[in-house]
């Protein structure tokens, strides 16, 4: 079935044409599937018109993409969606410079659509809010982006997100990713047609908070029984029960080169200047990204509140030992484009694998 025809047909016609059992699907829609942590979800992603992968560029989101392909989901039904945590207005405070370029290279290599959303000014603007409203977000709209929100009440932060599993305290994830994604799902009309499966890459092994996440459930933006607007959106944490070994195994099967952060010995790929960074990460950041490190240090002085409850980033870096990084990968990680080959043959496990370092909980 062509994309054009899919646009014109209803959900039921499309499912029938794809050979699905409408009765079984209708009963699932009435009694939405919920799969608790530790249970196995019997999910067929091929019965969704859209599979949106929350794609950070890290190994777990890469595993989601590869898993969908191994399950036979046609590439044109998959969308990689990436949140730009620094926004697109010039802030470089938090992220790996290469991440956007890496996501683009992966999407191009696999022939899969890549879309972006972000909060204006990114985490830095939210953090330096001083009597202002939280900034608007930008979501995909046609060939460009549409601005939403920004008219909330004024408020002041003037402090870093604090290290906590509580998302109100560690507000960066909500402000730069979770809320931004919800704005996309709630406001783009394409989600009002057909079924959407959102895939996110949390794994139980990563933290005790994540180990309690459900494997499958209606997404919080789901509105399948809405009166005026209907949106059928499920969320599948498809690698929730996977071990790190299984994640690297699927990368190996597809010969995909991991994000440069893993080649610099980071064990988890997140923001480079993640608030969960440990002493060795801060020592390495000071070495490979001195400008951004000094900006973080000067914000800590300005706010008189450090990221870590007791130590400044300078004190943490002083107590850490920089990773023995390869200058080639420092240059790749500090580039705005990813010019290294996407596929490796023979495939090599990066040195950050299995190191059990720091990252969001």
Contact positions vs ligand SF4 (CB under 6 A): 85, 94, 161, 170, 172-173, 176, 270-271, 274-276, 360
First to last CA, the chain: 42
Nearest to 63 by CA among 202, 184, 264: 202
Q: Rank residues 173 and 200 by Cβ distance to ligand SF4 and give the closer one.
A: 173
The partner residues of 218 in beta bridges, in order of sequence, read 234
Q: Rank residues 199 and 358 by Cβ distance to ligand SF4 and give the closer one.
A: 358
Q: Rank residues 194 and 352 by Cβ distance to ligand SF4 and give the closer one.
A: 352
Give the SS3 label for residue 82. strand
Q: Rank residues 311 and 344 by Cβ distance to ligand SF4 and give the closer one.
A: 311
Q: Rank residues 14 and 55 by Cβ distance to ligand SF4 and give the closer one.
A: 55
* Cis omega (within 30 of 0) for bond into 346: yes
**How many CB atoms lie under 10 A from the CB of residue 361?**
15
- Residue 159 CB, nearest distance to ligand SF4 (Å)? 13
- Residue 131 CB, nearest distance to ligand SF4 (Å)? 23
Nearest to 257 by CA among 359, 340, 156: 340
- Residue 313 CB, nearest distance to ligand SF4 (Å)? 13
Nearest to 307 by CA among 287, 289, 293, 288: 293
Q: Rank residues 40 and 291 by Cβ distance to ligand SF4 and give the closer one.
A: 291
Q: Rank residues 14 and 184 by Cβ distance to ligand SF4 and give the closer one.
A: 184
- Residue 171 CB, nearest distance to ligand SF4 (Å)? 8
Q: Please, what's the b/e burial string for 97-125 (b: 16 or more CB within 10 A of its CB; e: otherwise)?
A: bbbbbbbbbbbeebebebbbbbbbbbbbb
Contact 351, 113 (CB under 8 A): no
Q: Rank residues 82 and 195 by Cβ distance to ligand SF4 and give the closer one.
A: 82
Residue 192 gets which letter from DSSP?
Answer: G
- Residue 120 CB, nearest distance to ligand SF4 (Å)? 16
- Residue 258 CB, nearest distance to ligand SF4 (Å)? 17
- Residue 338 CB, nearest distance to ligand SF4 (Å)? 19
Measured distance CA(95)–CA(97) in Å, rounded: 6
**How many CB atoms lie under 10 A from the CB of residue 295?**
17
Own/partner contacts of 108-114, CB < 8 Å, gap of 24 or more, are: 109/342, 109/343, 110/65, 110/69, 110/75, 111/75, 112/65, 112/75, 112/78, 112/79, 112/80, 113/76, 113/78, 113/79, 113/80, 114/55, 114/79, 114/80, 114/81, 114/82
- Residue 275 CB, nearest distance to ligand SF4 (Å)? 5
């Amino acid at each position: 079935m062509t994309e054009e025809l899919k646009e014109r047909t209803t959900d039921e016609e499309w499912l029938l044409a794809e050979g699905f059992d409408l009765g079984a699907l209708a009963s699932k829609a009435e009694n939405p599937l919920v799969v608790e942590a530790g249970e196995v979800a019997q999910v067929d992603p091929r019965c969704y018109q859209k599979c949106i992968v929350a794609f950070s560029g890290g190994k777990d989101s890469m595993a989601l993409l590869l898993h969908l392909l191994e399950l036979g989901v046609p590439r044109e039904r998959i969308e990689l969606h990436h949140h730009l945590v620094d926004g697109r207005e010039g802030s470089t405070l938090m992220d790996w410079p290469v991440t956007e370029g890496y996501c683009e290279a992966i999407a191009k290599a696999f022939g899969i659509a890549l879309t972006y959303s972000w909060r204006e000014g990114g985490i830095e603007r939210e953090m330096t809010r001083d009597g202002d409203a939280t900034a608007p977000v930008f979501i995909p709209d046609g060939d460009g982006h549409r601005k939403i929100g920004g008219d909330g009440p004024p408020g002041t932060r003037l402090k870093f997100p604090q290290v906590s599993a509580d998302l109100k305290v560690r507000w960066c994830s909500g402000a730069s990713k979770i809320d931004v994604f919800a704005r996309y799902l709630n406001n783009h009309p394409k989600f009002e047609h057909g079924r959407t499966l959102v895939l996110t890459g949390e794994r139980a092994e990563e933290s005790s908070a994540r180990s309690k996440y459900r494997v499958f459930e209606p997404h919080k933006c789901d509105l399948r029984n809405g009166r005026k607007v209907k949106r059928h959106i499920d969320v599948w944490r498809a690698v929730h029960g996977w071990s790190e070994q299984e994640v690297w195994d699927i990368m190996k099967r597809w010969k995909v080169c991991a994000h440069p952060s893993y080649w610099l010995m980071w064990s988890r790929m997140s923001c480079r200047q993640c608030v969960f960074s440990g002493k060795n990460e801060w020592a390495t950041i000071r070495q490979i990204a001195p400008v951004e490190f000094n900006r973080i240090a000067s914000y800590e002085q300005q706010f008189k509140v450090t990221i870590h409850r007791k130590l400044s980033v300078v004190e943490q870096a002083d107590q850490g030992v920089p990773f023995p990084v390869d200058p080639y990968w420092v240059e790749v990680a500090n580039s705005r484009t990813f010019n290294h080959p996407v596929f490796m043959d023979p495939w090599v496990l990066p040195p950050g694998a299995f190191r059990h370092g720091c990252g969001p909980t």
